[in-house]
Amino acid sequence: MSLYSDLRGALRTRLLTVSGIPDAPQRAWEGRDFTPTAGTAWLRDTVLPAGADRVSVGPYARVRHLALYQVDLFVPALRGTEGDGPADAIIAAFWPGLVLSYNGQTVLVRSATRGPAITTDAAWRQLPMSIAVEMDTTNPA
């Protein structure tokens, strides 16, 4: 797999352990076609690369890749605070210091924050969550 496919796999695998999130097919996975069902909550995820630096870890230099895992929960706009519980559960599942493993790669959660709710249009209220992560790989040089 590729670096970001492994990173996405680790994060998405963890996300799917959270109870209360929308069931499939109400998930807009990155890179896949999706049309939301009116009146039904849905979830979107995106990995946003945020750079890479050479770091010394133990006796070897490594490349530390930084990224944001953006998770957006959409709930029907006129249902008040319906999405607060699932959004809080997602943030709680990605606590700082959490170590995830996937396909031989290790991902460290640096922070998890929830942004303010946004009414995107008359139909949807968006609850954005940003999870900052890092993943080290072998330095090729």
Domain total for the chain? 1
- State the residue range of the domain holding 32: 3-138
Asked if 99 and 106 count as a contact pair (C-beta separation under 8 A), the reply is yes
Question: From CA 16, how far away is CA 36, in angstroms rounded?
Answer: 19
What is the pTM assigned to this prediction? 0.87
Asked if 129 and 87 count as a contact pair (C-beta separation under 8 A), the reply is yes
Q: Where is pLDDT greater, at 23 or 96? A: 96
Is the pLDDT at 25 greater than 60, yes or no? yes
Binning the chain into helix, strand and coil, the percentages to the nearest 5 are 15, 45, 35
**Token pair listed for 121:** 């249009």
Is the pLDDT at 127 greater than 70, yes or no? yes
- CATH number, domain containing residue 51: 3.30.2000.20
Q: What is the pLDDT of residues 76-110, one digit of tens each?
A: 887 777 788 999 999 999 999 999 988 888 899 99
The top-scoring range by mean pLDDT among 18-27, 43-52, 72-81, 94-103 is 94-103
| Token pair 């979107």: residue | 44
